[in-house]
Structure 1
Amino acid sequence: MAKTLYLHIGHGKTGTSYLQSVFACSASVLRAQGLDYPWNSSCDLAADAKITSGNGMFFERYLRANPEAGEPSLGSSDPDVRGTLFSSEWIFTFLIEAVSPPWTGSPWEDYWGEIGAEERVERLVRWAQAKGYDRIKVLLFIRNPISQILSGYQQSIKRAGDTRAIEGYTPRSLLPPRVLACLNLFDRWPCIETDVVNYSVVKDQLAVIAASWLEIPVHKLMHPPAAIVNRSMTHGELEFQRWLNVSLGPSGELVSDPLCQELPHVRAQVIVPSRGAQDSLWEQIRESVEQVNRRIDPQHRYEYDPIESPPPGEEYSFSRDQIRVIATSLGKTILDLRERIGACSPEHYRQLQAQCTDLQKQCVDLDEHCGRLHEALQELQVRHESLVADQGEKNTRIKSLKEELRTLSKALRYRDAELAKRKARPTFLSKLFGGQHWKRRWARWRRAGVPTPPKG
């Protein structure tokens, strides 16, 4: 039986969390259809329609190992299993941008830091072939750029601890150029089949698209408890989380995660930058968008989707349920901190205070040390600039000397040539006594016994 490795790679903000919930709820159904969906703790959350990262951890672990080193076969040796499914938007960034896995820790970050995107895709192909997979099917969702950027802004507030207002937000990297890089990498391997689908066109048919891609009847898939997973937020929710990030750093688990998970049906609100900012973003990606559009189904091509929306006012509203969820989450965190502090004995508390004092002193010392290092660095920079200037003068002098050497060498060669010519030129005596006539006369005189030629 031909076996297929199925990779649903996102990218971000294209219904990935919803589809992962569908896959987790349908794990037994997928197995009955001959598909293995490797299970991890993230799948438990996905089955409850919670925010997850999919099962990409397995994918990274298997690629890290030697394909012949005894890693699990993922069902490839089971005659009833025709394929294995991985779903994680992180796979897109892992393969295309060659980033390190967020969960592996520093040793594996160093490991993957030495391996570029092309080698990672090659390792994917070699691993799949070693495990008996005849083909690799990739499902890549894209999204019209402006709505994707706005959804990405919300995600950066919720999950990445961003504190910028929408007008000051610039994505870390724009997605159409990365999609183009993805297509270029995958197209080099005939065994990789890439399906590109525009989420903006099919966002209400994600399960249908996934079932068709997996080659199973759509009615076999089971839907999660909530129809919306990882929803966008309202103006008030987003602003509350943004200012919480300002005070605490990344803290989405306190407010945004509970709100999105417990109240999935709250209607999100659109927060957009000015039309000029949207036009500027579109101009930055226009060329890569056109290149991608030429390579995918016309139905799923990118379209410019500017959004007009009034800016949010100065007042925000919260429903009773929103207030309940926020208060419950913050209250639970505060109680937990109180219990931890209350569990400390006075002696332990004093030790902690002493440790904090020592840490503060160390921070002060480190600041001073950093200041000294900064001054030393500035001095080194000045010295470096001076050395560069001196080296420039030396290079100029060396160039001049080389030019003089070339001139002298040319003169010496000319003189040697003239001397050689003079040596080769016949003298008066050689002309007088070196002719053929005198040679013949001398020969006759020697035969006649004449010792020397006569004078005169």
Structure 2
Amino acid sequence: MACFVHIGHGKTGSSAIQCHLALTRHVLQSAGYDYPFHESLASATKGHITSGNGSLLLESSHIVSDKSIYSDETLFVRLANDVATEALLAACPSDLKVICYTRDFFDLSFSGWGQAIKRGGCSLRYEEFMDADFNGWSIGLLEYWLSAAAKHGFELRVFNYSRHKTQLFAHFVRRALKLDYDLVDRMSVTDDFVVNRSLTAAEYELQRLFNKYVRVPSFSFVSDPLVNELPRVEAERPLLSEQTYTAVRQRFEDRVAAVNEFLPAEEQIKIEEFETLFGEGNVRESEEYFRLSADQLDVLARGIAAMVDSALQRGACEEALKDSDADMLRDLAWRLEKGAGADINSAEYIMSLASRARPNGKLIEQELTRYRELLKNADR
């Protein structure tokens, strides 16, 4: 029985893959494959950000059928321990194939910082963010999956998103899933739409400052409208001095080299050269650098005006949490738990916000209960 589990990781095009899988689900079923139904499919078919259907594997009542395909970037974190991995193997008792996309080092760090600004409430500049060990966290989990595959005997297919992002879904079905080419052709594979784009330098700085000075989530009227209404705006990298670049590179290059020993040459994680990233025009922070087009200003003005009108109508400034916020808050809580320092108090608070955003979310309630038990036991 073949079972394909795509675990992400974060910032490697998982939402785009899930959109395509949802849109071509009927073609997969006609060939005997199944992308099992999940409530997120409705959003995915519209090109919206989702977490996929992988949470089904965490439900004891779910039965895995032959040739089933699951995709959820949170599984990269959720299943990264022996107990969870063994439970996955029990659910998929034979021929388990785990698919993981990684990314070149600075490419990943820029995107990770950007997502923390966009949806995570982060107010750190990029250089400050790197001190929080974002890349060390993701590399450490990739190290786990490489060792787990050797220990438990399942097949782990690792690919570098930086090599394949221009034709990501075509690569996913042909190389990661290894489906027949005639089936691939019938899926009308295209990568001609953008899901969850990164921001420009000015957009990042605006969202960062809102995160810094506004005490309620602000992405619903800053980042989200920009991403959803202007998906084709070209992203820009954060500001980075050559001195900081060198310090970060020296800090991580040995760990990257260790991981690369287990990867095919064409999929290895590259630590990009400074000149490749920025050329000779690494623009320093200045008033000229932060520019917004007329379209960007219009989107921002409408988003902020809607927030202000809503606050005035309620007679309060607190922005209500929505169901669409729940996944971001849940993922942020997991990062706080797994990151350096294992901040369970903060993780519990963020997961409680996720529970407010999605009151009937079973997985979120389970995690919130687990955090509270951990805190209770720690106080004894």
Name the TM-score class by shorter chain: 0.7 to 0.9
- Please name the residue that 1:8 is paired with: 6
- Please name the residue that 2:256 is paired with: 289
Give the superposed CA RMSD. 2.1
Q: CA deviation at 1:222?
A: 4.5
- Please name the residue that 1:150 is paired with: 110
Give the residue type in structure 1 aligned to 2:262: R
1:276 pairs, out of 243, 258, 282, with: 243
- Please name the residue that 1:38 is paired with: 36
- Please name the residue that 1:28 is paired with: 26
Q: What is the CA–CA distance in structure 1 between the aligned matches of 2:62 and 2:7, rounded to whole Å? A: 22
**8 Å CA contact retained: 1:42, 1:53:** yes
1:91 pairs, out of 68, 75, 99, with: 75
**Is structure 2 residue 213 aligned with structure 1 residue 247?**
yes
**8 Å CA contact retained: 1:6, 1:83:** yes
- Please name the residue that 1:164 is paired with: 124
**8 Å CA contact retained: 1:150, 1:272:** no
- Please name the residue that 1:137 is paired with: 97
Q: How many residues align?
A: 301
1:194 pairs, out of 146, 153, 156, with: 156
Q: CA deviation at 1:312?
A: 3.7
Q: What is the CA–CA distance in structure 1 between the aligned matches of 2:57 and 2:50, rounded to whole Å? A: 15
Q: What is the CA–CA distance in structure 2 between the aligned matches of 1:318 and 1:22, rounded to whole Å? A: 32
Q: Secondary structure at the match of 1:205?
A: helix
**8 Å CA contact retained: 2:170, 2:189:** no
**CA 1:180–1:38: 2 relative to 1, 3 Å:** same
Identity between Structure 1 and Structure 2 (%): 29
Write the deviation string for residues 218-266 of structure 1: whole angstroms up to 9, x where unpaired.
3233557962211110111111111111122442222111211221100
**8 Å CA contact retained: 2:34, 2:68:** yes
Q: What is the CA–CA distance in structure 2 between the aligned matches of 1:274 and 1:200, rounded to whole Å? A: 23
Q: What is the CA–CA distance in structure 2 between the aligned matches of 1:168 and 1:214, rounded to whole Å? A: 38
1:51 pairs, out of 43, 49, 52, with: 49
- Please name the residue that 1:450 is paired with: none
- Please name the residue that 1:260 is paired with: 227
Q: What is the CA–CA distance in structure 2 between the aligned matches of 1:165 and 1:183, rounded to whole Å? A: 32
**Is structure 2 residue 85 aligned with structure 1 residue 121?**
yes
Q: What is the CA–CA distance in structure 2 between the aligned matches of 1:288 and 1:208, rounded to whole Å? A: 30
1:73 pairs, out of 44, 54, 63, with: 63
Q: CA deviation at 1:120?
A: 1.0
Gap runs ≥5 in structure 1 = 66-70, 77-81, 97-116, 343-456
Q: What is the CA–CA distance in structure 1 between the aligned matches of 2:248 and 2:73, rounded to whole Å? A: 23
**Is structure 2 residue 287 aligned with structure 1 residue 303?**
no
Q: What is the CA–CA distance in structure 2 between the aligned matches of 1:5 and 1:281, rounded to whole Å? A: 38
**CA 1:209–1:225: 2 relative to 1, 3 Å:** closer
Q: What is the CA–CA distance in structure 2 between the aligned matches of 1:147 and 1:121, rounded to whole Å? A: 28
**8 Å CA contact retained: 2:170, 2:190:** no
Q: CA deviation at 1:290?
A: 1.7
23-32 vs 233-242, greater mean Cα deviation: 23-32
**8 Å CA contact retained: 2:54, 2:75:** yes
Q: Secondary structure at the match of 1:146?
A: helix
Q: CA deviation at 1:172?
A: 4.2
- Please name the residue that 1:238 is paired with: 204
**8 Å CA contact retained: 1:245, 1:251:** yes
**8 Å CA contact retained: 2:57, 2:88:** no
Q: What is the CA–CA distance in structure 1 between the aligned matches of 2:255 and 2:87, rounded to whole Å? A: 27
Normalised TM-score (structure 2): 0.74
- Listed as ranges, the matches of 1:422-437 within 5 Å are none
Q: What is the CA–CA distance in structure 1 between the aligned matches of 2:283 and 2:85, rounded to whole Å? A: 44
Q: What is the CA–CA distance in structure 2 between the aligned matches of 1:41 and 1:240, rounded to whole Å? A: 33
**8 Å CA contact retained: 1:21, 1:224:** no
Q: What is the CA–CA distance in structure 2 between the aligned matches of 1:297 and 1:141, rounded to whole Å? A: 13
Q: What is the CA–CA distance in structure 1 between the aligned matches of 2:186 and 2:265, rounded to whole Å? A: 29
Q: What is the CA–CA distance in structure 2 between the aligned matches of 1:225 and 1:326, rounded to whole Å? A: 28
Q: What is the CA–CA distance in structure 2 between the aligned matches of 1:312 and 1:330, rounded to whole Å? A: 25
**Is structure 2 residue 177 aligned with structure 1 residue 214?**
yes
Give the residue type in structure 2 aligned to 1:45: S
**CA 1:135–1:245: 2 relative to 1, 3 Å:** same
**Is structure 2 residue 287 aligned with structure 1 residue 314?**
yes
**8 Å CA contact retained: 1:49, 1:226:** no
- Please name the residue that 1:111 is paired with: none
**8 Å CA contact retained: 2:57, 2:91:** no
**8 Å CA contact retained: 2:32, 2:67:** yes
Q: CA deviation at 1:304?
A: 1.6
Gap runs ≥5 in structure 2 = 317-380
Give the residue type in structure 2 aligned to 1:73: I
Write the deviation string for residues 2-47 of structure 1: whole angstroms up to 9, x where unpaired.
x221111111111112111111211222222222223333322222
Give the residue type in structure 1 aligned to 2:312: R
User: Which of the pair has more CA radius of gyration?
Assistant: 1
**CA 1:47–1:224: 2 relative to 1, 3 Å:** farther
- Listed as ranges, the matches of 1:102-121 within 5 Å are 117-121=81-85
Write the deviation string for residues 82-110 of structure 1: whole angstroms up to 9, x where unpaired.
411111111001122xxxxxxxxxxxxxx
**CA 1:50–1:224: 2 relative to 1, 3 Å:** farther
